[in-house]
Amino acid sequence: MTDYNPRTLLASARRLQDLVRQLDQSNRSSDWHQITEGVQVEVRILVSGLTASVEAVEALSTAATATQAGKARSDAPATSQQAARAVSVRSGSQRGRILLWLWRHGGAATDPELQERLELPASSQRPRRVELVELGLVAPRGTTVRNGQEYTCWTLTHDGAAVARDLSINGQVTLPTTASTGPSTVDDCEGDPVLF
């Protein structure tokens, strides 16, 4: 299977652009035939790559509001574990809010920052963030010290940004069961936003 990463598709689009320019400049019909064949090859590459990309994003999109059981401690009472399973739709909404906040504000945030900005209690925000980490949509991005305490900074992975973009456009997506975990490489919460 061919690897249709963005650089491959961009290179193909540039070759296609050059071929179209050559077609405009050529006066010989023999050149037109050869250039047309090159255009067809590049168009096939682009269509195949874009189709694969759309399918990958759609697969990832199956997630931010997925019906997944909430999290509860293993030693939590049975009623707490039942309640965690019962809030599956609401937990999807919280996951979506975390993804969108990280995407819209770029960079990274600590758990306390997310709790404050999203007005979520720690007992709701942390389990949702853990779920996003387990799904490969959020990853650690270094640490920061605030008020004498060290906190982990969390940022979107490339897949997390794709899901957040889709969520912002469509208003509803579902999370994948697995995703890559390529976080940004800046080692503090005040770094530049992650650009995708």
Cβ–Cβ under 8 Å, residues 187 and 175: no
Check whether residue 82 and residue 51 sit in a common domain: no
Check whether residue 43 and residue 87 sit in a common domain: no
- Higher local confidence (pLDDT), 9 or 81: 9
In a domain, 45, yes or no: yes
Check whether residue 27 and residue 106 sit in a common domain: no
Per the structure, the complete domain to which residue 83 belongs is given by: 78-170
Q: What is the count of structural domains for the chain?
A: 2
Tell me the DSSP string of 57-97.
Answer: HHHHTB-BT--------TTS-HHHHHHHHHTHHHHHHHHHH
In a domain, 70, yes or no: no
Cβ–Cβ under 8 Å, residues 65 and 33: no
Winning range, highest mean pLDDT, from 52-61, 71-80, 146-155: 146-155
- The model's pLDDT over 46-67, given as tens digits with 9 standing for 90+, comes to 888 888 777 776 666 655 445 5
Check whether residue 90 and residue 165 sit in a common domain: yes
- The model's pLDDT over 167-196, given as tens digits with 9 standing for 90+, comes to 777 676 654 444 444 444 444 454 433 333
In a domain, 156, yes or no: yes
Check whether residue 159 and residue 85 sit in a common domain: yes
The pTM is what?
0.48
Q: Rounded CA gap, 69 and 90, in Å?
A: 10
Give percent helix, percent strand, percent coil of the chain, each to the nearest 5: 60, 10, 30
Cβ burial of 78 (10 Å; 0-12, 13-18, 19+) is: exposed
Check whether residue 93 and residue 123 sit in a common domain: yes
Residue 95: other Cβ atoms inside 10 A: 26
In a domain, 190, yes or no: no
Cβ–Cβ under 8 Å, residues 166 and 60: yes
> Out of 27-36, 98-107, 121-130, which region has the weakest mean confidence (pLDDT)?
27-36
Dig out the tokens for 86 from the structure: 């019962």
In a domain, 141, yes or no: yes
Q: Rounded CA gap, 144 and 137, in Å?
A: 21
**Run of H or E residues at 128:** helix 122-134
